[in-house]
Amino acid sequence: SEGSIRLSHRLQGMPEYVVDYVLLHELAHLLVPGHGPRFWRLLEAYPRTERARGYLEGVAAADRLPNLTDRPEGAREE
Protein backbone atom coordinates (compact mmCIF):
# COMPACT_ATOMS: atom_id res chain seq x y z
CA SER A 1 0.00 0.00 0.00
CA GLU A 2 1.27 3.44 -0.87
CA GLY A 3 -0.79 5.22 1.78
CA SER A 4 -3.19 6.92 -0.62
CA ILE A 5 -6.95 6.58 -0.55
CA ARG A 6 -9.11 6.53 -3.65
CA LEU A 7 -12.87 6.68 -3.53
CA SER A 8 -15.13 5.07 -6.10
CA HIS A 9 -17.31 7.27 -8.29
CA ARG A 10 -20.16 5.03 -7.11
CA LEU A 11 -20.16 6.93 -3.80
CA GLN A 12 -21.47 10.04 -5.57
CA GLY A 13 -24.99 10.74 -4.41
CA MET A 14 -24.74 8.50 -1.36
CA PRO A 15 -25.47 9.96 2.07
CA GLU A 16 -22.60 11.81 3.72
CA TYR A 17 -22.49 9.34 6.62
CA VAL A 18 -21.83 6.52 4.13
CA VAL A 19 -18.96 8.41 2.47
CA ASP A 20 -17.57 9.22 5.94
CA TYR A 21 -17.73 5.53 6.85
CA VAL A 22 -15.90 4.50 3.66
CA LEU A 23 -13.19 7.09 4.36
CA LEU A 24 -12.82 5.88 7.94
CA HIS A 25 -12.71 2.27 6.72
CA GLU A 26 -9.85 3.11 4.37
CA LEU A 27 -8.04 5.22 6.98
CA ALA A 28 -8.28 2.31 9.43
CA HIS A 29 -6.49 0.15 6.86
CA LEU A 30 -3.53 2.52 7.05
CA LEU A 31 -3.20 1.46 10.69
CA VAL A 32 -4.45 -2.12 10.63
CA PRO A 33 -4.28 -4.46 7.63
CA GLY A 34 -7.15 -6.87 7.12
CA HIS A 35 -10.50 -6.96 8.86
CA GLY A 36 -9.65 -8.46 12.22
CA PRO A 37 -11.03 -7.51 15.65
CA ARG A 38 -8.63 -4.58 16.08
CA PHE A 39 -9.76 -3.12 12.75
CA TRP A 40 -13.45 -3.34 13.67
CA ARG A 41 -12.80 -1.81 17.10
CA LEU A 42 -11.43 1.27 15.35
CA LEU A 43 -14.55 1.58 13.20
CA GLU A 44 -16.89 1.09 16.15
CA ALA A 45 -15.84 4.55 17.31
CA TYR A 46 -17.89 5.99 14.42
CA PRO A 47 -21.51 6.03 15.64
CA ARG A 48 -23.00 5.42 12.18
CA THR A 49 -20.87 2.39 11.27
CA GLU A 50 -23.74 -0.09 11.50
CA ARG A 51 -26.13 2.14 9.57
CA ALA A 52 -23.56 2.81 6.82
CA ARG A 53 -22.72 -0.87 6.48
CA GLY A 54 -26.43 -1.66 6.17
CA TYR A 55 -26.82 0.98 3.47
CA LEU A 56 -23.86 -0.40 1.51
CA GLU A 57 -25.16 -3.97 1.87
CA GLY A 58 -28.51 -2.80 0.46
CA VAL A 59 -26.79 -1.15 -2.50
CA ALA A 60 -24.79 -4.33 -3.16
CA ALA A 61 -27.96 -6.46 -2.98
CA ALA A 62 -29.80 -4.13 -5.37
CA ASP A 63 -26.90 -4.38 -7.83
CA ARG A 64 -27.43 -8.14 -7.98
CA LEU A 65 -31.13 -7.82 -8.90
CA PRO A 66 -32.18 -8.03 -12.53
CA ASN A 67 -33.12 -4.74 -14.11
CA LEU A 68 -36.89 -4.77 -13.66
CA THR A 69 -37.39 -2.24 -16.45
CA ASP A 70 -35.90 -4.58 -19.05
CA ARG A 71 -38.47 -6.46 -21.10
CA PRO A 72 -37.80 -9.84 -22.68
CA GLU A 73 -36.92 -9.61 -26.35
CA GLY A 74 -40.06 -9.34 -28.45
CA ALA A 75 -42.25 -8.21 -25.53
CA ARG A 76 -44.39 -5.16 -26.20
CA GLU A 77 -45.08 -2.28 -23.90
CA GLU A 78 -48.82 -2.01 -23.21
Report pLDDT for 3. 77
pLDDT the model gives residue 11: 94
DSSP 12: T
- C-alpha torsion sign, points 20, 26, 28, 34: positive
The pLDDT value recorded for residue 70 is 63
Contact 43, 28 (CB under 8 A): yes
Q: pLDDT by residue for the chain (78 residues), tens digit each?
A: 577 888 899 999 999 999 999 999 999 999 999 999 999 999 999 999 999 999 999 999 998 888 766 656 655 655
